[in-house]
Structure 1
Amino acid sequence: MVNQLSWKVGGQQGEGIESTGEVFSIALNRLGYYLYGYRHFSSRIKGGHTNNKIRVSTTQVRSISDDLDILVAFDQETIDVNVHELKESGIVLADAKFNPTIPEGENVTLYSVPFTEIATELGTSLMKNMVAIGASSAILNINTEQFHDVVQDTYGKKGEKIVEKNMQAIEKGAEYLKKELGFNRQDMFLEKADGKKRMFMIGNDAIALGALAGGSRFMAAYPITPASEIMEYLIKKLPKFGGAVIQTEDEIAACTMAIGANYAGARTFTASAGPGLSLMMEAIGLSGMTEQPLVIIDTQRGGPSTGLPTKQEQSDLMAMIYGTHGEIPKVVMAPSTVEEAFYDTIEAFNIAEEYQVPVILLTDLQLSLGKQTVDPLHYNKIEIRRGKLLSEELPERENKEYFKRFEVTEDGISPRVIPGMKHGIHHVTGVEHDEAGKPSESAVNRVAQMDKRLRKLNHLNFPNPIHKNIQHESPDVLLVGFISTRGTIEEAMERLELDGVKVNHAQIRLIHPFPTEELLPLVEAAKKVIVVENNATGQLASLLKMNVGNAQKISSLLKYDGNPFLPQEIYTRSKELI
């Protein structure tokens, strides 16, 4: 028996590959297993190879595995493209319909099962994915009844007959593997999980849930991969809480609408990917100049332009910090797990309102769309902070002067009111202005207002700006990453430690303002610093060199082919760089 294995299903896009992975993984999650899934898919709606790789374990996992134990193939291309990942003695479970073959030199076992034929006999070939799930359950020694509730939840709206037929397909798949092919390899049997209930979600779901729990009641957005699931989740949920989602004509409208709603007193946000953020840059500057809170989610993907819209990359980093024209205070956050994505979204709204600045929550495709097991979230940790938003009646000002919405204060943060508040009238404009908001080109005023805005973040309170895994006072190497690389780095770190290499790890969660004070001692203590990131130019490494120095110690470990890092890649390439 094993306590961990990796399973992958592949075929043509639009062939039910995603639903196969969903039913399989949700059932295992409900049994108490930890899962980590990553979906490779084309930017086409239908056609083109797609696969879903799912790691199953009795303990927490936060990365895709290097190799593969079971490959479920609905076409020969799936075998040809993915067979190299299989371990020796790994299993290919293939539809007999296409007469599957294993490429020469691959030491794996092929089980040819008539997925399509069995499904057709039951009424429709569409149920071939259920037959494949049944065959997979036989390999893992999981009772087919464990899939009933998931099938009921997935297909129950179509009627009990459909549920019954799908369950028959699962049972027939398991029966064929056991009786017709005589499968009985106990080395593939999964150890029992603890049976505890845990959530199973993608990062986008966690962000959407965080926005809801954090008090947001309005989202303006334009659909774009890999951010669309945030909007889709909230379209269903927000109306139940008196909120709404507006699909705008473009990202410019989405960003300005979010600014307007925040100005009116609502907690609101928008979400997009790199191309959409490019369109928002002028509006982000407007948020900075008018000192209106603004939360933006950037789910990074392969660029530039349309680039690789369904592939992993982390190349928006510099653009998010320096993309706007002029100089404004802003905050850029980078959660590294699904749990952090939930809590950091709530904190993004708090920071935006407390400091009256744009806050960008930076994720990537792997975190946004990778589905994984999440321990129960703690809603008692949620805190809503609205900063200097005034709620009590304002005193009448002498000579009926305007309210000093942009008053020069010691901490750089001015009192804020919502429209319609008695004695709170003031001017709002994107040009430089005085304390009451009236346009001003005075040099003295310009310096006063500019200095006021820029000192807002001098005392930014962001808990745990770096996730630290510190094992040694004087390590041979410090591994540094951000967003979804955390789990992969942690696994590589364990392997390096087994080789006698002393390793510390820092995952940066606050990108801007950069946490120099927290990171500098970690860098200075290490003999070598290796920065792991999914881009071609080493953007995070450049930030380290700019903010903590020690450039001679810092090396980049880069990957920009559209695929996420694997633990073995970081282990091997780190050994070469040390």
Structure 2
Amino acid sequence: MISQLSWKIGGQQGEGVESTDRIFSTALNRLGYYLYGYRHFSSRIKGGHTNNKIRISTTPMRAISDDLDILVAFDQESIDLNAHELRSGGVVVADAKFNPTLPEGIDARLFAVPITSIAEELGTSLMKNMVASGASWALLGLPLEVFNKAVEEEFGRKGAAIVEKNVEAVKRGSEYVLELAGGPLEDFRLEEADGKQKLFAIGNENIGLGCIAAGCRLMSAYPITPASEIMEYLIKKLPKFGGTVVQTEDEIAAATMAIGANYAGVRTMTASAGPGLSLMMEAIGLAGMTETPLVIVDTQRGGPSTGLPTKQEQSDLNAMVYGTHGEIPKIVIAPASIEDCFYDTVEAFNLSEQYQVPVIIMTDLQLSLGKQSCEELDYDQIRIERGKLVKEAPEIEEKALFQRYELTADGVSPRVLPGVKHGIHHVTGVEHDETGRPSENARNRQLMMDKRLGKLAKLEIRDALRVDAPHEAPELLIIGMGSTGGTIDEARARLEKGGRKTNHITIRQIHPFPTDLLTPYLERAERVLVIENNATAQLANQIKMHAGHGEKIRNLLKYDGTPFLPSEVYQACKELN
């Protein structure tokens, strides 16, 4: 028996690939397996090759696998594009309709199943996804009743007749492939899972859940891949908590609406990807100048311009840190796991109000859309911190104004909501004095700049660095961000087996940069390898600029639209001098 297995389904977009993956993984989740998914899809609604890959394990893991055990193919293109991933002795379950063949040199077993024909016999070719699912499930020797339960949950709202037909499609696919194979494949039998159902979600859903837990009651946003799922999740959930989602005409409106709502006291956020973030830059500057809380999620994708809207990249770091004109304080944090997506979202709202600054949550497509098992969330950790929010302003002289931008020792001024007695003040995007009145006085300008920029001098978020450093003086320190952490961990495990001493740090506080925390680890390492999905080494350059040690730092960059594989990281580390 084996402890983990990798399964992939491929076909044309709009052909049922995603629903097949969803039901297959839901059934595995019911059995208690840990899952990690990666979805390759085109930037169009229908047509173009798409595939979903799921890694199944009895123990936690946070990376896609190097190889593939089972490929389910709806067309020959899926075999031609993905067969190279198959391990020796792997399996292809393909629709007999297109007379499938394996590319030369591929050592795999091919089972041609009349997937489309069976579905058409049952009434519609749309059910071919259930025939294919049943076939691959049967090869694993897993209990069919668990799969049928997932089918019932998927199609139950369409009525008992539809459920019954889909269950029959699963059965027919299962029976056919078992006759071809002579029964379940013994070398593909998974060890029994713990039976505990895990939360199974994408990062965007956990961000949405974090918004609700943080007290967010308004999302203003414009749809864009790969951020739209946050909006879709909150459209369904926020009304249950007295909140709402407003689809704006563009990202500029989304950001300015969020600023206005936050000024009024409603916790509000927006979410976008790189192109939308570019449009928000002037509004982010307004939030910085008016010291209005603002939470933005940037789910990075391939750029520039429209770029690769459905592919992996981590190339917005410089834009998030430096994008606005002028100089304002802002916070950029980078979740490194699906659990982080939840907890960091709550923290982002608190930080934004405590420091009265824009906070950008930096994710990437793989972390945002890769569906995976998640440890149970601890809601007892949730705290709502609203900073220096004044509910009752002190009495002031007639015609005097509230000192909304008062010069304070920590740089954070008292904040008052509209309508609070004695709280009237000016709000403007131009430079201003302590009451908000416009001012071009040179001395005032310097004081206000120093006040704003000094707010974050001692900022340190929860787990600013996620450190796994068993060695005092490692041969190699590997540094990453976002979704790369699990991949690095797997590569390190192989390196350590080979006798290589390695430490691993994931940087989660991107700005202000945690120089003091990182420097000691850089000093003790012989070599440093920084891993990131971009072409210009944006994270490595931040490290060099803030912490130095450029002579030690090497880069592993990937910008072809796909995530890192453990083997790629392992090989790069092994070859590093």
TM range (shorter): over 0.9
Is 1:510 paired with 2:539? Answer: no
Structure 2: which 5+ residue stretches go unaligned? none
Q: What amino acid does structure 2 have at the position aligned with 1:102? A: L
C-alpha displacement at 1:180, in angstroms?
Answer: 4.1
C-alpha separation between the residues in 1 aligned to 2:567 and 2:140? 25
Deviations 1:354-391, CA, capped at 9 Å, x for gaps? 00000000000000000000011000000100000111
C-alpha separation between the residues in 2 aligned to 1:484 and 1:266? 31
Name the structure 2 match of 1:276.
276
C-alpha separation between the residues in 2 aligned to 1:336 and 1:395? 43
TM-score of the superposition, structure 1-length normalised?
Answer: 0.99
Deviations 1:386-409, CA, capped at 9 Å, x for gaps? 000111x32321233100000000
Deviations 1:153-200, CA, capped at 9 Å, x for gaps? 211111001111111111111111112442442010111101002100
Name the structure 2 match of 1:47.
47
C-alpha separation between the residues in 1 aligned to 2:180 and 2:188? 18
Q: What amino acid does structure 1 have at the position aligned with 2:394? A: P
Q: What amino acid does structure 1 have at the position aligned with 2:335? A: P
Deviations 1:491-534, CA, capped at 9 Å, x for gaps? 00111111111000000000001111111111111000000000
SS of the equivalent of 1:235 reads: helix
C-alpha separation between the residues in 2 aligned to 1:217 and 1:75? 45
C-alpha separation between the residues in 2 aligned to 1:195 and 1:463? 32
After TM superposition, the structure 1 = structure 2 runs for residues 308-387 of structure 1, keeping only pairs within 5 Å, are 308-387=308-387
After TM superposition, the structure 1 = structure 2 runs for residues 209-248 of structure 1, keeping only pairs within 5 Å, are 209-248=209-248
Q: What amino acid does structure 1 have at the position aligned with 2:416? A: V
C-alpha separation between the residues in 2 aligned to 1:106 and 1:235? 46
The root-mean-square deviation of aligned C-alpha atoms, in Å, is: 0.8
Contact 2:94 2:111 in 1 (8 A): yes
Name the structure 2 match of 1:103.
103
SS of the equivalent of 1:284 reads: helix
SS of the equivalent of 2:551 reads: helix
Name the structure 2 match of 1:418.
417
**% of aligned pairs identical?**
67
Name the structure 1 match of 2:491.
492
Is 1:182 paired with 2:195? Answer: no
Structure 1: which 5+ residue stretches go unaligned? none
Indicate the larger mover: 63-72 or 115-124.
115-124
SS of the equivalent of 2:82 reads: helix
After TM superposition, the structure 1 = structure 2 runs for residues 393-412 of structure 1, keeping only pairs within 5 Å, are 393-412=392-411
C-alpha separation between the residues in 2 aligned to 1:239 and 1:509? 32
C-alpha separation between the residues in 2 aligned to 1:86 and 1:180? 20
Q: What amino acid does structure 2 have at the position aligned with 1:312? A: Q
Is 1:532 paired with 2:554? Answer: no
Q: What amino acid does structure 2 have at the position aligned with 1:252? A: I
C-alpha displacement at 1:281, in angstroms?
Answer: 0.3
TM-score of the superposition, structure 2-length normalised?
Answer: 0.99
SS of the equivalent of 1:424 reads: coil
C-alpha separation between the residues in 1 aligned to 2:121 and 2:225? 38
SS of the equivalent of 2:47 reads: coil
C-alpha displacement at 1:134, in angstroms?
Answer: 0.7
C-alpha separation between the residues in 1 aligned to 2:395 and 2:80? 76
Q: What amino acid does structure 2 have at the position aligned with 1:26? A: T
C-alpha displacement at 1:150, in angstroms?
Answer: 1.5
Q: What amino acid does structure 2 have at the position aligned with 1:228? A: S
C-alpha separation between the residues in 2 aligned to 1:168 and 1:499? 50
- Structure 1 residues 241 and 360: CA distance shift in structure 2, 3 A: same
Is 1:467 paired with 2:457? Answer: no
C-alpha separation between the residues in 1 aligned to 2:389 and 2:149? 48
Name the structure 2 match of 1:253.
253
Name the structure 2 match of 1:550.
549
C-alpha separation between the residues in 2 aligned to 1:205 and 1:184? 35
Deviations 1:32-84, CA, capped at 9 Å, x for gaps? 00000000000011100000000000000100000000000000000000000
Name the structure 2 match of 1:90.
90
C-alpha separation between the residues in 2 aligned to 1:244 and 1:149? 33
Is 1:443 paired with 2:436? Answer: no
Q: What amino acid does structure 2 have at the position aligned with 1:455? A: G
SS of the equivalent of 2:423 reads: coil
After TM superposition, the structure 1 = structure 2 runs for residues 15-164 of structure 1, keeping only pairs within 5 Å, are 15-164=15-164
- Structure 1 residues 83 and 180: CA distance shift in structure 2, 3 A: closer
- Aligned structure 1 segments of 4 or more residues deviating by more than 6 angstroms: none
Name the structure 2 match of 1:571.
570
